[in-house]
Amino acid sequence: MRALARELRTAVSALYNHVSSKDEVLNWVQDDVNDAIDTSSFGSEPWDIALTRWARSYRETFAKHSPLIPVIAVLPIAGAPHTLTMYERVAEGLRTGGWPEDMVVDTIVAVESFILGSAMDASAPEWIFDVGDRCDLAPAFTDAVAARRGSGRPASDRAFVLGLNALITGLQNTLKEIDEFPNSAGLASFGR
Amino acid sequence: MRALARELRTAVSALYNHVSSKDEVLNWVQDDVNDAIDTSSFGSEPWDIALTRWARSYRETFAKHSPLIPVIAVLPIAGAPHTLTMYERVAEGLRTGGWPEDMVVDTIVAVESFILGSAMDASAPEWIFDVGDRCDLAPAFTDAVAARRGSGRPASDRAFVLGLNALITGLQNTLKEIDEFPNSAGLASFGR
DNA sequence: ACCTGAACACCGTTCAAGT
DNA sequence: ACCTGAACACCGTTCAAGT
């Protein structure tokens, strides 16, 4: 709040004439950041392609604003029009793509959880998995960390692409099973 | 630090004789919390079953300690022996399960990203997706939110199970493709 | 070697006093 | 209606002074 006041050339206390708390400011910021996420593929592309594009744009946007991640993850969406519009496009895209209505939100939340977790990971230092001393405690892991080193792009990008491909493939599979055995749709979404 | 000092019945400044910063304390806490995560299925079960059990235990543990999530997500693991031991068990389980060594860490990171994202989501209020006024901006989404209401267990649990099933199914698929076409392993992990 | 209390440079928020 | 400066109740961390 002090930094914001400085930028606006006012006293900190003056802010509270326009805003009821820092949380309200963050809500506005969240809505502004969410507006930068690309949802243009929904409507023109199949749901799985569009969801992949959305996920990449979403992660990229929040990797640039990592301190916001734990905040927006628990922030109610009421009163954030751009955020609402984003979810509307995704929900409409999934519905049109054949997803049953009672699974649309769960699908969005699942993909979003992966995205936000990946965006946090992207803001971690590259050497986060360096074992240091105590290689003795984790020989197989130490080897695995060494084996993935030096392959061009950042490690977190590789993990994201691997996971996103797997997640989308798995979701395609879930949807196909629902279409083939409509009565066991509940089972597919609930697990054992 | 002040709360910790109170609990230990000392002055806050006395803590700094035993610890160099709050971050070091959090590193210890992280290691202690990670020790509660169940990795016992690795070794006795196939990698996909074990990974599923691990993921459930991991999410449950950190859903109970949500303020730690953004911290541990970027905390280096050096000097955290229990954390190292956990990763060792998972890495060893994936290697034994047939995963190529240079994909083990990426697979762990991908699943972990989903877990931590889901644990954050689990600590959000249940009404996070209530649209409030402005239903006009998101009719399809509003319907989807209504459609998933009132189905027993918490919404975040359903999204987690749906996503975890999809993710593991997708990873099984990725591994199968690698076994069938070993030379395109790079493609499978890198995406297009 | 370890403790203590005071101090420093920060926070978000409130409030009486101004215009 | 909106601003100002002082104040409140917090932070993590440092440091001179003690034992």
For residue A147, name the pLDDT band (cuts at 50, 70, 90). very high
| Site from B42, B77, B95 to mutate, A interface, most A CB atoms within 10 angstroms | B77
Q: What interhelical angle do B47-63 and B81-96 show, nearest 10?
A: 150
Residues 6+ apart with CB under 8 A from B186: none
Quote the distance between the C-alpha of residue B180 and its chain's center: 30
Residues 6+ apart with CB under 8 A from B169: A166, A169, A170, A173, A174
Chain A residue with minimum CA distance to B143: A101
If one compares A187 and A165, the residue with the highest pLDDT of the two is A165
For residue A160, name the pLDDT band (cuts at 50, 70, 90). very high
For residue A184, name the pLDDT band (cuts at 50, 70, 90). low
Give 10-residue mean pLDDT values along chain B (192 residues).
96 98 95 97 97 98 93 90 97 97 97 98 92 92 92 88 98 95 58 41
pLDDT at A190: 47
pLDDT at A13: 98
Residue B89 to residues A58, A159, B40, B44, Cα–Cα distance (Å): 32, 19, 8, 11
**Beta-carbon separation of A105 and B148 below 8 A:** yes
Measured CA angle at A106 (ends A103, A107), to 5 deg: 80
**What six digits make up the tokens of A113?**
């959880």
How long a stretch of residues is chain B?
192
Q: Which amino acid is at B178?
A: I
pLDDT tens per residue, range A110-128: 999 999 999 999 999 888 9
* CA atoms of B126 and B144, how far apart (whole Å): 15
* CA atoms of B87 and B93, how far apart (whole Å): 10
If one compares A184 and B47, the residue with the highest pLDDT of the two is B47
For residue A150, name the pLDDT band (cuts at 50, 70, 90). confident
pLDDT at B151: 73
Asked whether the predicted pLDDT for residue A192 surpasses 50, the reply is no
Q: How many CB pairs under 8 A join A and B?
A: 287
Asked whether the predicted pLDDT for residue A40 surpasses 60, the reply is yes
**Beta-carbon separation of A191 and B161 below 8 A:** yes
pLDDT at B184: 60
What CATH code would you report for B21-123+154-190?
Answer: 1.10.357.10
Q: Say if CB A165 and CB A111 are below 8 A apart.
A: no
Mean pLDDT of the residues in chain A = 92
Q: Is the CB of A162 under 7 A from strand C?
A: no
